Amino acid sequence: MAANKVPPALATHQPDRKGRGGWVWEETEHPAKRVKGGEDEEPPRKPPKRKIVLLMAYSGKGYHGMQGVSAAGQVVSLKVWLIDDILDKINSHLPSHIRILGLKRVTGGFNSKNKCDARTYCYMLPTFAFAHKDRDVQDETYRLSAETLQQVNRLLACYKGTHNFHNFTSQKGPREPSARRYILEMYCEEPFVREGLEFAVIKVKGQSFMMHQIRKMVGLVVAIVKGYAPESVLERSWGEEKVDVPKAPGLGLVLERVHFESYNQRFGSDGLHEPLDWTQEEGKVTAFKEQYIYPTIVSTERDERSMAQWLNTLPMHNFSGTALRAADTGAKVPSSLEGSEGDGDTD
SS3 265: helix
pLDDT at 87: 95
End-to-end CA distance of the chain: 74
pLDDT above 90 covers a percentage of the chain that reads 68
pLDDT of 11 > 90? The answer is no
Contact 206, 118 (CB under 8 A): yes
Mean pLDDT in residue range 35-48: 68
Quote the pLDDT of residue 32: 53
Q: What is the pLDDT at residue 273?
A: 83
pLDDT tens, residue by residue, 165-181: 999 998 899 999 999 99
**Alpha carbon distance 244, 196 (integer Å):** 34
Query: What is the arithmetic mean of pLDDT over 235-244?
Result: 94
| Environment class of 5 (CB within 10 Å of its CB; exposed 0-12, middle 13-18, buried 19+) | exposed
Considering only CA atoms, which of 95, 49, 112, 98 is closest in space to residue 70?
98
pLDDT at 329 over 90: no
Structural contact between residues 198 and 192, judged by C-beta atoms closer than 8 angstroms: yes
Q: At what angle do helices 146-157 and 213-226 cross, to 10 degrees?
A: 140
How far is the C-alpha of 199 from the C-alpha of 125, rounded, in Å? Answer: 5
| Predicted pLDDT at 39 | 57
Q: Identify the band that residue 88 occupies on the pLDDT scale cut at 50, 70 and 90.
A: very high
Task: Tell me the whole-structure pTM to 2 decimals.
Answer: 0.80
d(CA 339, CA 321): 32
E strand segments, the chain? 13-19, 22-27, 34-36, 39-41, 50-58, 70-80, 98-105, 118-126, 161-164, 180-188, 192-194, 197-206, 253-259
Average pLDDT of the residues in 38-51: 76
Per-residue pLDDT at 216 exceeds 50: yes
Band of residue 1 on the pLDDT scale cut at 50, 70, 90: very low
- Report the candidate in 60, 16, 11, 67 with the shortest Cα–Cα distance to residue 213: 67
- Do the beta carbons of residue 128 and residue 134 sit within 8 Å? no
| Cα–Cα distance, 218 to 124 (Å, whole number) | 10
**pLDDT tens-place string over residues 113-159:** 999 999 999 999 999 999 999 999 888 999 999 999 999 999 999 99
